[in-house]
Amino acid sequence: MERADEGLAFLLRYENIAWYKNGEVRILDRRIYPIRTEFVTCKSVQEVAQAIKDMVTQSAGPYLAAAMGMALAAHEIADRKDVDVLTYMEDAAYTLSHARPTTVEQMKRIVGGAVDIVRQSLREGTRGEALVEALFQYAFNFVNNNYKKYTLVGENLAKLIPKNGTIMTQCFGDTVVGTILRACKRLNNPIKVICAETRPYFQGSRLTASVACDMGFPVTVITDNMPGYTLKAKNVDLFTSASDVITVDGHIINKVGTFQIALAAHYYGIPYYVTGTPDPDHPDIRDVRIEERDPELVLKALDVKLTMDGVEGFYPAFDITPPELCSGVVTDLGVYLPQDLKRYFADSEKNSQEE
Amino acid sequence: MERADEGLAFLLRYENIAWYKNGEVRILDRRIYPIRTEFVTCKSVQEVAQAIKDMVTQSAGPYLAAAMGMALAAHEIADRKDVDVLTYMEDAAYTLSHARPTTVEQMKRIVGGAVDIVRQSLREGTRGEALVEALFQYAFNFVNNNYKKYTLVGENLAKLIPKNGTIMTQCFGDTVVGTILRACKRLNNPIKVICAETRPYFQGSRLTASVACDMGFPVTVITDNMPGYTLKAKNVDLFTSASDVITVDGHIINKVGTFQIALAAHYYGIPYYVTGTPDPDHPDIRDVRIEERDPELVLKALDVKLTMDGVEGFYPAFDITPPELCSGVVTDLGVYLPQDLKRYFADSEKNSQEE
């Protein structure tokens, strides 16, 4: 199958996200990249789950790590006759999917697909290293199909960027950052990129900026208090972010900071385009609860405590941008108004019938 | 003279800003406080100028350091008959006032006052350590009068905070942070404080939060991408910042980030009050140029480089908040609408005539 990660940055190549080979899953440590380029090597399902829990990788990374972890699980018992394969693999699926509390449902869908393969393989008599290979192929197809979808999203967003334009990003949109830039390259549009650093983990300066730099685009980092000023000072043409959830009624839940950049962009009449697809599990904003993370993290930078004892922290991981601050939701099927996202599902159905 | 720093935090006590004693000026190193509490000890005017240049202290700190530096200059030549006192002191004034390019004018006013004292003392035959003492007293009066003025500003702002209310701050407003909180204490109003950390130097988490914590107020730090979300989530009653310049037509130039917090506060109907006084040297916003600092600084946290080689930085030190996003300018004479700041000068004149 053609690989959809061709031409993307180091950080976005499959082997550098999470990759099974010869009894190991190797995961790029995104907590410290590019200060140091280090991989965590996992030799068991437990080690993969621990790496996911420890946030060695983030964004879409944990999903590929979990899928590759299923291949590793099959390898662990490839030569053992004393183990019930299905039970072992279901246990592995449970361990991997529950590594982090907030992504259990999405994880279950992915490792559940791997368990389906196990069941089918067992019916067909496929075991041992052949099962490992089938699960590796499943993981590969999972990430590759995802990249194909984001190739379309990237192309649809790239069309909205003026020639020689400047875009501002928030946090690390993972795959889509690469596919937008690859699309710009193919359109022969040498855009400039401005990244907000995204505290407390600096995903903007460490990850997004590295992707842009790796792919040959001029990229400028600013701290998170600067987007409002910079939007105007640097004549930004377009603000874009990915999304953790887009509700069907057009609210965007994304890395905290997105809202205040979108608000400033709106103030200056600069469009904000979000990438992603509406989530049918979230019809409206009412049931959305914003996850709070360990408040100690905002009191630190690179593990150094900055505050006096007695000072507290508050770490809302995401914020909510209302539909009226968003110019469009850029999906694989095209661009939709945030007020008109039901049409995405209709188009999606039409599309799948046509296929 | 009664000291106006009574009851303020450690960081705001005169001895802990910059203080001349026995031939040394001791300056608290605000670059690293409270991670470490260290003082830089200067034994010459050159060392004081270097400390100012190196940003050992910041905000109002350099002005006191320069004033105390003039006492140190007089001490350097107290026993020397071979030196022309006035020339030496004028040279010292030049060295101190030119330590940092952006504050030359304000610095010149302060060290110029010290040179006036030298002239008068020489006329009166005061020399040696008596001149040192006169210059120390000048420095003391300078900071003490400033604190008295900010006591009034703090009292005027404190009156605007609801009982048991929550305020959000930006950067480190220096003296006024302390005087607001002291006024709240005197009004028996145990407010809560939320500080944006203020990258790249973390003045919010290191300085403002320390002042509030030291003075016994519950204080919560957030990163600079969180104010927009937090204003609503934590039911903030009032956003306040100090100002580097307030133009007579009501624009506020302050630490970058102020604009986007003011914008979010406006979105939620939360008032933004700036402390400070209009600057007659800046009738309107047209001639204001925003200082840009070393872009490398935004690529680092605590001196660790976060980005890949080839990534650029952009470091606008300040931003501009337009008058329509500000609910009031809180001065020593009361609260003014940003559209009505000429009245401040009229009131000020009236006041000085009455005195």
Summarised one tens digit per residue, pLDDT across range B149-169 is: 999 999 999 999 999 999 999
| SS3 of residue A300 by DSSP | strand
Is A231 a residue whose pLDDT tops 90?
yes
Q: Which of B341, B311, B142 is nearest to B250 (CA)?
A: B341
On chain B, the residues whose CB falls within 8 A of the CB of A221 are: 298-299, 306-307, 311-314
Q: How far apart are the C-alpha atoms of B2 and A343, rounded to whole Å?
A: 72
| A-interface mutation test, from B36, B166, B260, most A Cβ less than 10 A away | B260
CB B173 within 8 A of CB B208: yes
Minimal-distance CA residue of chain A relative to B265 = A260
**What integer is the mean pLDDT of B61-82?**
96
| A-interface mutation test, from B311, B324, B325, most A Cβ less than 10 A away | B311
What is the residue whose two structure tokens read 């702002």?
B157
**What integer is the mean pLDDT of A180-193?**
98
Q: What is the pLDDT, as a whole number, of residue A354?
A: 81
In our burial notation (b when 16+ CB lie closer than 10 A, e otherwise), range B129-145 reads: eebbebbbebbbebbbe
CA dist list (Å): A50 to A33, A41, A292: 19, 11, 21
Mean pLDDT of chain A: 96
Q: How far apart are the C-alpha atoms of A12 and B265, rounded to whole Å?
A: 38
Residue type, B38: E
On chain A, the residues whose CB falls within 8 A of the CB of B226 are: 256-257, 298, 314-316, 319
Structure tokens at A155: 């192309």
CATH of the domain spanning B10-149:
1.20.120.420
Query: Is the four-CA dihedral B248, A269, B318, B197 of positive or negative sign?
Result: positive
Is A1 a residue whose pLDDT tops 80?
no
- Could you give the angle at the alpha carbon of A285 between the alpha carbons of A282 and A291, nearest 5°? 85
On chain B, the residues whose CB falls within 8 A of the CB of A233 are: 290, 316
Angle formed by the axes of helices B61-76 and B128-158, nearest 10°: 170
Element (H, E) at A127: none
Structure tokens at B312: 């650029």
Summarised one tens digit per residue, pLDDT across range A152-184 is: 999 999 999 999 999 999 999 999 999 999 999
C-alpha dihedral over B330, B332, B335, B339, to 10 degrees? -80
> What phi and psi values does residue A162 have, to the nearest 5 degrees?
-60, 155
Count the Cβ atoms, other than its own, within 10 Å of residue B114.
Answer: 25
Cβ within 8 Å, pair A226-B257:
yes
What is the residue whose two structure tokens read 């830089």?
B40
Cβ within 8 Å, pair A221-B313:
yes
CB B167 within 8 A of CB B191: yes
Summarised one tens digit per residue, pLDDT across range A284-305 is: 999 889 999 999 999 999 999 9
Count of alpha carbons within 13 Å of A252, Cβ hemisphere only?
33
Q: Which of B315, B262, B319 is nearest to B292 (CA)?
A: B315
> What phi and psi values does residue B263 have, to the nearest 5 degrees?
-65, -45
Least-confidence region, from A23-32, A229-238, B94-103, B196-205 = B94-103
Cβ within 8 Å, pair A264-B260:
yes
CB A108 within 8 A of CB A95: no
Is any Cβ of chain B less than 8 angstroms from the Cβ of A322? no
Cβ within 8 Å, pair A305-B35:
yes
Summarised one tens digit per residue, pLDDT across range B278-307 is: 999 999 999 889 989 999 999 999 999 999
Residue A303 Cα to chain centre, angstroms: 24
H helices within chain A, ranges in order? Answer: 45-53, 61-76, 85-97, 104-124, 128-158, 175-186, 203, 209-214, 227-233, 258-267, 342-354
> Is it true that the peptide bond before A283 is cis, omega within 30 degrees of 0?
no
Count chain A–chain B contacts defined by CB atoms under 8 A.
Answer: 204
Q: Which of B231, B290, B311 is nearest to B265 (CA)?
A: B231
Count of positions (residues) in chain B? 355
Q: What is the pLDDT, as a whole number, of residue B287?
A: 84
> What phi and psi values does residue A4 have, to the nearest 5 degrees?
-90, 5
Is any Cβ of chain A less than 8 angstroms from the Cβ of B144? no
**What integer is the mean pLDDT of B320-325?**
98
The share of chain B scoring above pLDDT 90, in percent, equals 94
Cβ within 8 Å, pair A316-B229:
yes
| A-interface mutation test, from B28, B30, B230, B307, most A Cβ less than 10 A away | B307
Q: What is the pLDDT, as a whole number, of residue B55?
A: 93
In chain B, DSSP assigns E strands to 18-21, 24-28, 39-42, 166-169, 192-196, 219-222, 238-241, 245-246, 252-255, 272-275, 300-301, 304-305, 312-313, 318-321, 328-331, 334-336
On chain A, the residues whose CB falls within 8 A of the CB of B266 are: none
Q: How far apart are the C-alpha atoms of B36 and B33, rounded to whole Å?
A: 5
Q: What is the pLDDT, as a whole number, of residue B354?
A: 81
Summarised one tens digit per residue, pLDDT across range B73-90 is: 999 999 999 999 999 999
Partner-chain residue, chosen from B223, B230, B256, that has the shortest CB–CB distance to A199? B223
CB A171 within 8 A of CB A242: yes
Query: β-pairing, A192-196 with A166-169?
Result: parallel
Query: Is the four-CA dihedral A83, A89, A94, A98 of positive or negative sign?
Result: positive
Is any Cβ of chain B less than 8 angstroms from the Cβ of A312? yes
**What integer is the mean pLDDT of A271-276?**
98
Contacts of B115 (CB under 8 A, 6+ apart): B70, B86, B89, B90, B93
On chain A, the residues whose CB falls within 8 A of the CB of B197 are: 199, 298, 306
Residue type, A207: L
Least-confidence region, from A67-81, A96-110, A135-149, B236-250 = A96-110
Summarised one tens digit per residue, pLDDT across range A125-160 is: 999 999 999 999 999 999 999 999 999 999 999 999
Partner-chain residue, chosen from A198, A214, A306, that has the shortest CB–CB distance to B225? A198
Is any Cβ of chain A less than 8 angstroms from the Cβ of B333? no
CB A256 within 8 A of CB B225: yes
CA dist list (Å): B246 to B96, B179, B344: 25, 20, 12
* pLDDT category of residue B103 using cuts at 50, 70 and 90: confident
Q: Which of B217, B264, B266, B273 is nearest to B243 (CA)?
A: B273
Q: Domain spans of chain B?
A: 10-149, 159-354
Partner-chain residue, chosen from A212, A255, A307, that has the shortest CB–CB distance to B209? A307
Cβ within 8 Å, pair A307-B264:
no
The share of chain A scoring above pLDDT 70, in percent, equals 99
Q: Which of residues 159-198 of B touch A (CB under 8 A)?
A: 170, 194, 196-198
Is any Cβ of chain B less than 8 angstroms from the Cβ of A200? yes
Cβ within 8 Å, pair A220-B312:
yes
Q: What is the pLDDT, as a whole number, of residue B121?
A: 96
> What phi and psi values does residue B60 have, to the nearest 5 degrees?
-80, -10
Cβ within 8 Å, pair B298-A206:
no
Q: What is the pLDDT, as a whole number, of residue B340?
A: 98
Fold of A159-354: Rossmann fold (3.40.50)
Cβ within 8 Å, pair B221-A298:
yes
Q: What is the pLDDT, as a whole number, of residue B116?
A: 98
Angle formed by the axes of helices A128-158 and A61-76, nearest 10°: 170
What does the DSSP assignment read for A184-252? HHHTT---EEEEE--TTTTHIIIIIHHHHHHTT--EEEE-TT-HHHHHHHTT--EEEE--SEE-TTS-E
